[in-house]
C-alpha cells in the first residue's frame, strides 16, 4: 500500500506500523517505551509514553506511530509544529516527577530519557514546583537495584521478564500515580522468582533498573597493602568491552583488557577461561560416567545432563523445577571453580593466606554477583570469589583510572591460571559449552583423536536447537537453549518425551553470555550479540590449543593437586548441590 510520510511517498506491506514505515524513508521517530526484540519476534509497544506521536491527516488526535498501522493513502507528518509541541509537553510531563539527580545517576550518559531531553532541548519544566514526586522505596537485591522513582512505566522489563524469560517476577501493579512495576505483593526482588539474569537491566531506558556497584569495594581492596588482589575475566567480556570505548561490536580486546587490569593494579591477571577448561574436565567426566552407566543398562541414571555454568539458569531451575534437582551437572560454574582453586592451590603456591587473597571476577552477568554470595561457595564465611564486577563496571573502572584504553598495547594473562584453550573461549556463546565438552568427551569416550574441532551444527542463534554428534558409532544427542523461555520449552519437551537427549546446554541470556545483563547494554539488538559471538569463535580459531584437556596447566593442576576429574578433592572443591527454592512449594 502507498502512503506519504513527510512529503515522501512510500510503498509498504500491509501490517507495517507508521513507525517502521517512517524508518524506511529515513526518519527515526523518537520513542521511549517502544522496543523491538527483532531476533525474538517480540515487540514491547504499550504505546504508553506518547513520545512517538505523529499527525495523520483526517484524524483528530495525534497517533502513537509505534502502534498505528499504515493505511492506503495515509498522509503522515512526523515533525509538524503540532507534533513537536505535543512531544515536548509529553516529555516535560514525564520529567516533572522524575528525579533530577542526573549528575550522579548510574545511567547518566546512557539514559534514553536524558537523551530525549537533550535532543528536544528541554530547558525548563512548567509548574514543576507543583509536581508531586514519587517516593517509592529503593529495592536492592544482591545483583539488581530497583529505583522505581525513575521508572517511566515503559514495561520493557515486564515484557522481557514475562514473555522472553518466562520468569514472571515483574508486573505492573497499582494504578494512577501509584502505578509501579514490581514483584508480587511488592516484595523485594530477592524474595521474588527473579533469577538475576539482568535482562531487565539490559533494556531499561532509565536509571530505574541498574546493577549493584562493587567497584568501590574493589578499589578499597586494591589500596590495601595487606591484600593480594587477583582478577579473572569471563570469555564474553573481551568481545564486548571495546564497545564502551567506541569500538564496533565484535571487536576483540583481550590484550588491551589484560593491560588495563594490570595498570589498575591487580597483582595477578588471570582468565576465567582456565576454569572453563577445568569445568569441561569435570562436566565432561560426569557426562561420560552417566552415558557409560546408561549403556551398561542402569535405568536410574539421570539423562539428559544439564549444564550448570549459568547462575541465572541455576536459579531458574531451583525455582521452577525443584523435582529435577539431581539432573543438572553438579559442576560449579567457571567463576566458582576459579575461586575455589585460587583460594586453595594458588594461595598455597604464592604463599598468601586465604583471608588476604581477594578474588575479583569480571563478568558479563549480574547473576554472578548473587552466585558468589551463595553460602555453598564460602569457607568459614570467606567467599571463594569476593566481588563480581560487570563488563560495564570494568569499563567504568578503566575510565576512572584515566587509562587510554584504545591506545593500550596488548598484554598476556599470567600463569598458571591465565592459560586456556579455544574450547574455553566459546563458553561465552550459546552452544559453546556443549561444543567444548564435545571436543573433550569425544576423545575420552572413543580413545581416538577428534579430527573435527568446529561443530557448526551446535552454533547459531536459534532459541532451541538439537543436533547429534557421532561418537565413533554411538550417536550423542544434544539440545541447546538460550534465554530462559526457550529453556522452559526445551525442558518441558524433555519431560513430555518429545526430545530424547543426552546433554543439554542452557544459557539464560540471548546469544549466551555475550548478551548478558552485565554487558554494554544491548537493548535487544541481535546484530550486536551476533557480532560478539563471532568474535569469540575467531579467538577460538586462533588459539594454538583448542581442547580443554590439552591445557598443560590443567594437566599440571590435576597432577599436583586434584588427582583426577571427579576425585574426592575435585568433588569437594569443584562441585556443588542445588536447593528447592520454588515459591509455590
Residue 226's Cβ-side half-sphere holds a number of Cα atoms within 13 Å equal to 4
Q: Which residues pair with 503 in a beta bridge?
A: 305, 478
In the stretch 355-394, what mask flags binding to other proteins with x, by CB under 8 A? ---------------x--xxx-------------------
Active site residue 129: no
If you search the block for the grid coordinates 579473572, which residue do you land on? 232
Out of 174, 356, 382, 406, point to the residue binding other proteins (CB under 8 A): 174
By the rule CB under 8 A, 220 interacts with other proteins: yes
Cα dist from 86 to 78, 111, 115, 239, whole Å:
11, 21, 18, 41
Rounded to the nearest whole angstrom, what is the least distance from the CB of residue 520 to other proteins in the complex? 21
Question: Between residues 82 and 579, which has the closer beta carbon with respect to other proteins?
Answer: 579
By the rule CB under 8 A, 227 interacts with other proteins: no
Residues in Cβ contact with 254 at an 8 Å cutoff, skipping those fewer than 6 apart = 238, 410, 539
Rounded to the nearest whole angstrom, what is the least distance from the CB of residue 160 to other proteins in the complex? 13
Active site residue 72: no
Per annotation, catalytic residue among 150, 368, 369, 547: 368
Question: Between residues 28 and 584, which has the closer beta carbon with respect to other proteins?
Answer: 584
Question: Residue 441: enclosing H or E segment and its boundaries?
Answer: helix 432-446
Q: Which residues pair with 228 in a beta bridge?
A: 357
437 and 480 in contact (C-beta within 8 Å)?
Answer: no
By the rule CB under 8 A, 216 interacts with other proteins: yes
List the one residue out of 264, 243, 261, 260 whose CA is nearest residue 252: 243
Residue 213's Cβ-side half-sphere holds a number of Cα atoms within 13 Å equal to 13
Cα dist from 500 to 195, 314, 455, 474, whole Å:
27, 22, 20, 14
**Range 546-585, binding other proteins (CB under 8 A):** 579, 581, 583-584
Rounded to the nearest whole angstrom, what is the least distance from the CB of residue 525 to other proteins in the complex? 27
* Whole-number Å distance between alpha carbons of 232 and 389: 10
Q: What is the 3-state secondary structure (H, E, C) of 107-131?
A: CCCCCHHHHHHHHCCCCCCCCHHHC
* Whole-number Å distance between alpha carbons of 540 and 439: 13
Question: Between residues 18 and 194, which has the closer beta carbon with respect to other proteins?
Answer: 194
Active site residue 283: yes
| Stretch of residues binding other proteins (CB under 8 A), selected from 42-50, 209-217, 341-349, 507-515 | 209-217
By the rule CB under 8 A, 99 interacts with other proteins: no
Active site residue 550: no
Residues in Cβ contact with 531 at an 8 Å cutoff, skipping those fewer than 6 apart = 248, 249, 250
By the rule CB under 8 A, 168 interacts with other proteins: yes
Per annotation, catalytic residue among 38, 376, 400, 560: 376
Rounded to the nearest whole angstrom, what is the least distance from the CB of residue 224 to other proteins in the complex? 11
DSSP 481-517: EESHHHHHHHHHHHHTTS---SEEEEESSTTSGGG-T
Out of 88, 217, 302, 477, point to the residue binding other proteins (CB under 8 A): 217
Question: Between residues 223 and 295, which has the closer beta carbon with respect to other proteins?
Answer: 223
Active site residue 376: yes
337 and 329 in contact (C-beta within 8 Å)?
Answer: no
By the rule CB under 8 A, 190 interacts with other proteins: yes
Active site residue 489: no
- Find the distance separating the first CA and the last CA of the chain, reported in whole Å: 54
In the stretch 108-147, what mask flags binding to other proteins with x, by CB under 8 A? --------------------------------xxx-----
Out of 213, 355, 443, 550, point to the residue binding other proteins (CB under 8 A): 213
List the one residue out of 178, 502, 180 whose CA is nearest residue 170: 180
Cis peptide before 304 (omega within 30 of 0): yes
Per annotation, catalytic residue among 154, 161, 197, 309: 309
CA dihedral (521, 523, 525, 530) positive or negative: positive
By the rule CB under 8 A, 102 interacts with other proteins: no
Question: Residue 63: enclosing H or E segment and its boundaries?
Answer: strand 63-64
Rounded to the nearest whole angstrom, what is the least distance from the CB of residue 365 to other proteins in the complex? 16
Question: Between residues 192 and 438, which has the closer beta carbon with respect to other proteins?
Answer: 192
| Stretch of residues binding other proteins (CB under 8 A), selected from 16-24, 49-57, 173-181, 570-578 | 173-181
By the rule CB under 8 A, 401 interacts with other proteins: yes
Rounded to the nearest whole angstrom, what is the least distance from the CB of residue 375 to other proteins in the complex? 6
Number of shown-chain residues binding other proteins (CB under 8 A):
42
Out of 48, 134, 162, 534, point to the residue binding other proteins (CB under 8 A): 162
517 and 202 in contact (C-beta within 8 Å)?
Answer: yes
Question: Between residues 169 and 476, which has the closer beta carbon with respect to other proteins?
Answer: 169
330 and 577 in contact (C-beta within 8 Å)?
Answer: yes
DSSP state of 515: G
Question: Between residues 115 and 215, which has the closer beta carbon with respect to other proteins?
Answer: 215
By the rule CB under 8 A, 214 interacts with other proteins: yes
Q: Which residues pair with 331 in a beta bridge?
A: 575
Question: Between residues 186 and 267, which has the closer beta carbon with respect to other proteins?
Answer: 186
Residue 565's Cβ-side half-sphere holds a number of Cα atoms within 13 Å equal to 22
By the rule CB under 8 A, 28 interacts with other proteins: no
Distance of CA 190 to the CA centre of its chain: 18
By the rule CB under 8 A, 235 interacts with other proteins: no
Cis peptide before 11 (omega within 30 of 0): no
Out of 42, 184, 247, 294, point to the residue binding other proteins (CB under 8 A): 184
By the rule CB under 8 A, 77 interacts with other proteins: no
Question: Between residues 46 and 172, which has the closer beta carbon with respect to other proteins?
Answer: 172
Rounded to the nearest whole angstrom, what is the least distance from the CB of residue 76 to other proteins in the complex? 34
By the rule CB under 8 A, 325 interacts with other proteins: no
Radius of gyration of the chain (CA): 25
**What residues are annotated to the active site?**
283, 286, 309, 329, 368, 371, 376, 513
Binding site for other proteins (CB under 8 A): 140-142, 162, 167-175, 182-187, 190-193, 212-217, 219-220, 223, 370, 373-375, 400-401, 579, 581, 583-584
Amino acid at each position: 500500500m502507498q502512503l506519504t510520510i513527510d512529503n515522501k511517498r512510500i510503498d509498504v506491506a500491509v501490517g507495517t506500523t507508521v513507525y517502521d514505515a517512517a524508518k524506511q524513508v529515513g526518519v527515526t521517530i523518537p520513542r521511549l517505551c517502544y522496543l523491538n526484540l527483532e531476533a525474538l519476534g517480540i515487540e514491547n509497544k504499550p504505546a504508553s509514553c506518547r513520545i512517538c506521536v505523529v499527525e495523520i491527516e483526517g484524524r483528530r488526535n495525534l497517533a502513537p506511530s509505534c502502534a498505528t498501522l499504515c493505511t492506503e493513502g495515509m498522509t503522515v507528518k512526523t515533525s509538524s509544529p503540532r507534533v513537536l509541541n505535543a512531544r515536548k509537553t509529553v516529555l516535560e510531563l514525564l520529567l516533572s516527577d522524575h528525579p533530577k539527580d542526573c549528575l550522579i545517576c548510574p545511567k547518566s550518559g546512557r539514559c534514553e530519557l536524558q537523551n530525549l531531553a537533550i535532543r528536544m532541548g528541554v530547558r525548563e519544566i512548567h509548574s514543576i514546583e507543583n509536581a508531586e514526586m514519587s517516593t517509592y522505596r529503593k529495592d536492592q537485591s544482591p545483583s539488581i537495584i530497583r529505583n522505581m522513582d525513575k521508572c517511566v512505566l515503559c514495561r520493557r522489563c515486564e515484557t522481557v521478564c514475562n514473555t522472553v524469560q518466562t520468569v514472571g517476577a515483574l508486573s505492573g501493579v497499582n494504578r494512577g500515580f501509584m502505578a509501579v512495576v514490581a514483584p508480587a505483593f511488592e516484595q523485594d526482588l530477592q524474595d521474588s522468582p527473579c533469577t538475576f539474569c539482568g535482562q531487565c537491566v539490559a533494556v531499561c531506558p532509565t536509571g530505574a533498573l541498574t546493577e549493584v556497584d562493587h567497584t568501590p569495594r574493589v578499589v578499597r581492596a586494591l589500596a590495601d597493602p595487606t591484600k593480594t588482589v587477583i582478577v579473572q575475566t569471563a570469555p564474553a567480556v573481551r568481545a564486548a568491552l571495546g564497545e564502551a570505548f567506541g569500538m564496533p561490536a565484535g571487536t576483540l580486546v583481550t590484550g588491551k583488557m589484560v593491560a588495563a587490569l594490570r595498570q589498575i593494579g591487580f597483582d595477578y591477571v588471570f582468565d576465567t577461561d582456565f576454569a572453563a577448561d577445568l569445568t569441561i574436565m569435570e562436566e565432561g567426566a560426569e557426562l561420560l560416567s552417566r552415558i557409560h552407566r546408561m549403556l551398561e543398562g542402569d535405568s536410574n541414571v539421570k539423562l539428559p545432563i544439564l549444564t550448570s555454568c549459568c547462575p541465572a539458569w541455576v536459579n531458574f531451575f531451583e525455582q521452577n523445577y525443584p523435582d529435577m534437582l539431581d539432573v543438572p551437572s553438579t559442576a560449579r560454574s567457571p567463576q566458582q571453580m576459579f575461586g575455589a582453586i585460587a583460594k586453595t592451590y594458588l594461595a598455597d603456591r604464592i604463599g598468601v593466606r586465604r583471608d588476604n587473597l581477594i578474588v575479583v571476577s569480571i563478568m558479563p552477568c549480574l547473576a554472578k554477583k548473587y552466585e558468589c554470595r551463595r553460602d555453598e561457595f564460602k569457607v568459614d564465611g570467606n567467599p571463594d570469589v569476593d566481588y563480581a564486577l560487570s563488563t560495564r563496571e570494568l569499563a567504568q573502572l578503566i575510565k576512572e583510572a584515566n587509562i587510554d584504553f584504545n591506545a593500550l598495547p596488548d598484554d598476556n594473562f599470567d600463569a598458571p591460571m591465565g592459560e586456556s584453550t579455544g574450547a574455553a573461549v566459546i563458553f561465552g556463546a550459546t552452544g559453546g559449552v556443549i561444543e567444548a565438552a564435545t571436543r573433550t568427551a569425544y576423545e575420552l569416550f572413543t580413545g581416538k583423536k577428534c579430527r573435527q574441532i568446529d561443530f557448526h551444527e551446535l552454533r547459531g542463534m536459534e532459541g532451541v536447537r538439537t543436533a547429534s554428534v557421532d561418537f565413533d558409532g554411538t550417536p550423542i544427542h544434544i539440545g541447546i537453549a538460550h534465554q530462559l523461555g526457550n529453556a522452559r520449552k526445551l525442558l518441558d519437551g524433555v519431560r513430555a518425551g518429545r526430545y530424547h537427549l543426552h546433554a543439554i546446554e542452557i544459557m539464560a541470556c540471548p546469544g549466551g553470555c555475550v548478551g548478558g545483563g552485565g554487558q554494554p547494554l544491548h537493548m535487544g539488538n541481535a546484530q550486536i550479540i551476533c557480532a560478539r559471538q563471532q568474535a569469540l569463535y575467531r579467538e577460538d580459531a586462533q588459539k594454538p590449543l583448542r581442547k580443554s584437556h590439552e591445557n598443560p596447566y590443567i594437566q599440571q593442576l590435576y597432577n599436583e593437586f586434584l588427582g583426577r576429574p571427579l576425585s574426592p578433592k575435585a568433588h569437594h572443591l569443584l562441585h556443588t548441590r542445588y536447593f528447592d527454592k520454588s515459591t509455590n512449594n
